[in-house]
Amino acid sequence: MAVKNDENIVIFTDGGEIVAEVRPDRVRVEFRDKGPGIPDIEQAMQPGFSTAPPWVQEMGFGAGMGLPNIQSCADEMQLESKVGIGTHLEIVVYTR
């Protein structure tokens, strides 16, 4: 499973944390950041939508597929975001 949200923490925020929990039956990864937040989660979930600045896109990132790809690969996904406060993303993939 490729997880693109770690790049977003680096590109868009003042910091955050990534916590992974690995168990025999599942893998859970949680991302928390202190960033600008996502003003419109529904729009951000649309394939191809990106707020990445040109310098990020020039490096080959910011294609707007991160969240849609995560959702398609995860068994569970929860995304919460508050503008001006930050974003919390939790994904779970079951191994059995």
Domain boundaries, the chain: 1-15+26-37+67-96
- Residues 24-50: tens digit of each pLDDT: 999 999 999 888 888 999 998 999 888
**Predicted model pTM:** 0.78
The 10s digit of each residue's pLDDT in 4-28 is: 456 666 666 777 888 999 999 999 9
87 burial class (0-12, 13-18, 19+ CB within 10 angstroms)? buried
CB 80 within 8 A of CB 90: no
